């Protein structure tokens, strides 16, 4: 399973990285209805920090942004009339305990790896941002003269352009 494909299906909703039930059903090669039924039968395994149901506003916002919400397989309509379930990393891991197929296990391993890669990327980004801030704090005073000179040049140039002192470039018409 390609991590890139899974990364594309991880969204940030309510400040959490989540995957939606219809994307998971597609990856697990089951119908969304079957996945939701399994979750509802085992709802005690999915506290709010593992899974939550999207509000109508959240769902409609996603529907307008994500083309994959269109359901072309069934002839009944283009969109599901039920809100989607959003699963956090822990909720996805819990799905492995209720969906016991070999495919579900393989997909869960790939999804957990994708969440780990995202977390690692976020940590690396924070470290990089911290290092850049430290370098700026260290070297900005040394370049203050350069910044002042650039500012002066930009200000002078803008003043000349505004005052119309700019020379015409190109051919001049004889009058």
Provide the pLDDT for residue 36.
92
Provide the pLDDT for residue 122.
72
Provide the pLDDT for residue 167.
66
Radius of gyration of the chain (CA): 27
Provide the pLDDT for residue 85.
92
Q: What is the pLDDT along the chain (175 residues), one digit of tens a residue?
A: 566 777 788 888 888 889 899 888 888 888 889 899 999 999 999 999 999 999 888 887 777 666 555 544 444 444 566 788 999 888 888 887 787 777 777 877 787 788 788 778 777 777 777 777 777 777 777 667 776 777 777 776 555 555 555 666 777 777 6
Provide the pLDDT for residue 145.
72
Provide the pLDDT for residue 158.
54
Provide the pLDDT for residue 132.
73
Domain assignments of the chain as residue spans, ordered by start: 3-126, 129-163
Specify whether the CB–CB gap between 107 and 1 falls below 8 A. Answer: yes
Domain spanning 3-126 has what CATH number? 3.10.260
Provide the pLDDT for residue 86.
92
């Amino acid at each position: 399973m390609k991590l890139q494909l899974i990364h594309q299906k991880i969204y940030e909703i309510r400040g959490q990285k989540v995957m939606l039930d219809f994307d998971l059903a597609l990856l697990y090669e089951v119908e969304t209805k079957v996945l939701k039924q399994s979750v509802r039968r085992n709802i005690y395994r999915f506290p709010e920090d593992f899974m939550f149901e999207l509000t109508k506003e959240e769902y409609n916002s996603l529907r307008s942004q994500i083309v994959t919400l269109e359901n072309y397989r069934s002839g009944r309509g283009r969109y599901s009339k039920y809100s989607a379930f959003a699963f956090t990393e822990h909720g996805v891991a819990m799905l492995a305990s209720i969906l016991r197929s070999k495919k579900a296990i393989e997909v869960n391993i790939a999804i957990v790896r994708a969440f780990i890669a995202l977390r690692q990327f976020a940590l690396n980004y924070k470290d990089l941002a911290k290092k850049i801030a430290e370098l700026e704090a260290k070297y900005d005073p040394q370049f203050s003269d350069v910044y002042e000179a650039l500012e002066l040049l930009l200000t002078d140039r803008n003043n000349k352009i505004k005052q119309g002192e700019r020379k015409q470039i190109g051919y001049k018409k004889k009058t």
